[in-house]
């Protein structure tokens, strides 16, 4: 009845979009009632029955679909693109696949904490073609996670029939390939749905394991209302209408003498009154008043930095050892902190950052993962939903491209959308100068500084690396922590032995001068220091940014207003890099103070080559000294 009302409102222009679940309601309702109320469900966009069965107030759902303030996303996202921890529901994003890995993360929390809880996650037959589906099933199987994967096979992925989506008889057969129990259930029979899910969930609670379930069903209406159903043969629609789960269940109840016609009419009248009353509440609610300050504030979860001072006791550490120590001390301080990554357990990771960690913290907290960046980042998101912090090591920052979607579309946007923070650190070994070629040498920070909702850190010294990594772990927002590989074992510094942190978003002044401002971060900082040592006559401010997002624009502006000249050195290629953004900030805020054009020095606009002479030519360092001297003399 809610669906029928929404279709009317859609035609009246009072809601923006609707994905109908008419014809497959039994799956949502039956599964939700079979699970306990505190067990998480991750539904899709036509699973209204999940939300109503969890007794979410209808006026909040109606406000959500109209973009009103009391909706779950305050008008920032539509449809079922939201979650609510109050009702243990985590909604989808349009990319479909990531929620499967997120369900793995919630299930991992349940496994590690022995909660004896089940997690259920929905996808459609079309969504099973996505890589996230296969990654999530594989991880769940390898780790024996208590999660139920639900496939609603309604015959069409939008308009594409199943024979163009996959080439096996049943999608449930895929469970065999993952060593996973699987079932095929009639998705239009609510008694079957409820009884089968109840039995399966009960077994999983006692002995955790994943289960794959394919529900055979059908949607009577289009993928969404604008698409219609012209691509579906009429006889197929007529056939499935005879199997409508609601009318058939109603007939079953009446034939069983559990209800009569008066009972049915009375139930429908009460539902109609509830719908109308809640719709009035939603319609009467004022629309959101746009406020720029509020929108900007709600991109990140608020975090008040509390400085932790260190003693005078130090030790001389390499860059890589400072990172390892910051991670180790954070693990000691936070009993529930989880580390995940390829080969990070007994092997210690390819750069040996976590060597010896399993001896202290065990294999449950220091977890080797399959080679599936996307799914593991999604697992981290699921842990965050359960208020558990994790650090994910990307073997090389280049490999983040295999997990790009969950980073920029899930981690970055979740707090803004429905106030669910992504309490995650992604460690990103990066950079050229080590002869590793195009796929192991990129410094790809600009991919992420462009995305609101992410914090991007890039230390250049062991002291900063340890302190900022600890701060990243303390921060409840998603942090990408870049570590230049060429610095790992070539750079040493006195580093405090204690646990300490450093403020995020604050640059470091390494040199102070009056003639020019040099702005850089990461490995290029050290090349800038070498050039200044070689040219002692150049009086320069040298700014090590350390934090790229948030960026310490104030320090940059104050320096350039003092010196009148600015040069920006980055290892990333020139076009679209952070240097371009910094140059714009300087031009907009320091124009009247400038005595010369802002100069950018960066790597060539090519992939990173492998051979030593080609790589040296690619990098900006051989060009920097001349550019600096030319600008000083301008």
Nearest CA among 307, 255, 368, 308 for reference residue 499: 308
The answer to whether 440 is a known catalytic residue is: yes
Kind plus residue range of the DSSP H or E element containing 534: helix 524-534
The span from the CA of 381 to the CA of 338, in Å, is 12
What is the distance between the alpha carbons of residues 393 and 508, in angstroms, rounded to a whole number?
Answer: 26
- The CA-based diameter of the chain, rounded to the nearest angstrom, is 98
The rounded distance, in Å, linking the Cα atoms of 19 and 7 is 9
From CA 42, how far away is CA 24, in angstroms rounded? 17
- Look-up: residue for tokens 């679909």? 65
Say how far apart CA 543 and CA 559 lie, in whole Å: 9
Separation CA 172–CA 192 (nearest Å): 17
- How many C-beta neighbours within 10 Å does residue 55 have? 9
Burial class from Cβ neighbours inside 10 Å (0-12, 13-18, 19+) for residue 38 reads: exposed
Joined together, the tokens standing for residue 399 give 């490999």
How many helices (H) and strands (E) in the chain? 24, 23
Using DSSP's 3-state secondary structure scheme, residue 506 falls into coil
Q: Which helix (H) or strand (E) holds 153?
A: strand 147-153
Among candidate residues 134, 440, 484, 526, the one labeled active-site is 440
* Sequence-ordered strand ranges (E) for 433-565: 455-457, 479-484, 492-496, 508-511, 516-520, 540-544, 547-549
- Phi (first) and psi of residue 439, to 5 degrees: -110, 0
* CA separation for the pair 252, 246 (Å, rounded): 10
3-state secondary structure of 562: helix
Rounded alpha-carbon distances, angstroms, from residue 391 to 369, 465, 472, 552: 13, 15, 10, 25
What is the CA angle 164-165-170, rounded to 5?
110
**In sequence order, what DSSP letters do the residues of 8-28 get, joined into one string?**
HHHHTTSSS-----TT-HHHH
Core vs surface per residue 97-106: b (16+ CB within 10 A) or e: bbbbbbbbbb
Report the C-alpha gap between 99 and 132 in whole angstroms: 9
DSSP 466-485: HHHHHHHHHSSS-EEEEEEG
The count of other CB atoms within 10 Å of the CB of residue 63 is 25
- Measured CA to CA in angstroms, residue 602 lies from 65, 128, 587, 632 at distances of 47, 42, 19, 18
Residues with catalytic roles: 440
């Amino acid at each position: 009845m809610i669906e029928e009302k929404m279709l009317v409102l859609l035609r009246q222009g009072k809601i923006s979009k609707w994905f109908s679940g008419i014809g497959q309601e039994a799956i949502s309702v039956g599964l939700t009632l079979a699970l306990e109320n505190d067990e998480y469900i991750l539904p899709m966009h036509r699973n209204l029955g999940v939300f109503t069965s969890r007794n979410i107030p209808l006026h909040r759902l109606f406000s959500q679909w109209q973009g009103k303030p009391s909706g779950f996303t305050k008008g920032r996202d539509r449809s079922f693109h939201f979650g609510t921890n109050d009702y243990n529901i985590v909604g989808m994003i349009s990319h479909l696949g990531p929620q499967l890995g997120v369900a793995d993360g919630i299930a991992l929390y349940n496994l590690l904490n022995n909660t004896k809880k089940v997690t259920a996650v929905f996808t459609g037959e079309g969504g099973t073609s996505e890589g996230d589906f296969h990654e999530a099933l594989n991880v769940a199987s390898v780790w024996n996670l208590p999660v139920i994967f639900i496939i609603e096979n309604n015959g069409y992925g939008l308009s594409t029939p199943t024979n163009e989506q996959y080439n096996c008889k049943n999608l449930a057969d895929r469970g065999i390939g993952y060593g996973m129990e699987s079932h095929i259930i009639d998705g239009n029979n609510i008694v079957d749905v409820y009884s089968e899910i109840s039995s399966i969930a009960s077994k999983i609670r006692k002995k955790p394991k994943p289960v794959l379930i394919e529900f055979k069903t059908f949607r009577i209406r289009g993928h969404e209302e604008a698409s219609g159903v012209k691509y579906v043969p009429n006889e197929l629609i007529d056939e499935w209408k005879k199997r409508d789960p609601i009318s058939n269940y109603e007939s079953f109840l009446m034939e069983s003498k559990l209800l009569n016609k008066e009972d049915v009419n009375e139930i429908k009248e009460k539902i109609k009154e509830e719908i109308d009353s809640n719709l009035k509440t939603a319609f009467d609610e004022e629309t959101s008043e746009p406020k720029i300050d509020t929108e900007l504030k709600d991109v990140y979860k608020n975090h008040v930095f509390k400085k932790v001072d260190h003693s005078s006791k130090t030790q001389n550490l390499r860059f890589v050892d400072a990172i390892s120590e910051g991670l180790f001390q954070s693990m000691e301080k936070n009993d529930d902190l989880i580390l995940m990554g390829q080969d990070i357990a007994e092997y210690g990771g390819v750069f040996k950052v976590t060597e010896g960690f399993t001896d202290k913290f065990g294999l449950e907290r220091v977890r080797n993962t399959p080679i599936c960046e996307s799914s593991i980042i999604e697992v981290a998101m699921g842990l965050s939903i359960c208020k558990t912090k994790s650090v994910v090591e990307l073997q090389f920052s280049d490999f983040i491209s295999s997990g790009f979607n969950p980073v920029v579309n899930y981690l970055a946007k979740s707090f803004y959308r429905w106030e669910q923070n992504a309490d995650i650190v992604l460690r990103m070994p990066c950079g050229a100068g080590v002869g590793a070629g195009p796929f192991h040498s990129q410094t790809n920070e600009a991919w992420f500084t462009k995305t609101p909702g992410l914090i991007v850190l890039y230390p250049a010294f062991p002291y900063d690396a340890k302190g900022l990594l600890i701060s990243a772990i303390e921060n409840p927002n998603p942090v990408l922590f870049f570590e230049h590989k060429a610095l790992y074992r070539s750079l040493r510094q006195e580093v405090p032995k204690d646990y300490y942190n450093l403020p995020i978003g604050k640059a470091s002044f390494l040199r102070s001068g009056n003639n020019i401002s040099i702005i850089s971060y990461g490995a290029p900082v050290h090349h800038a220091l070498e050039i200044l040592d070689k040219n002692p006559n150049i009086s320069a401010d040298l700014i090590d940014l350390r934090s790229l997002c948030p960026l310490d624009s104030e320090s940059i502006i104050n320096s350039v207003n003092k010196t009148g000249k600015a040069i920006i050195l980055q290892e990333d290629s020139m076009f679209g890099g952070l240097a371009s953004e910094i140059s714009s900030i300087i031009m907009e805020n320091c124009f009247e103070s400038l005595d010369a054009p802002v100069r950018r020095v960066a790597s060539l606009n090519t992939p990173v080559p492998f051979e030593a002479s080609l790589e040296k030519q690619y990098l900006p360092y051989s060009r920097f000294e001349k550019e600096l001297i030319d600008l000083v003399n301008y």
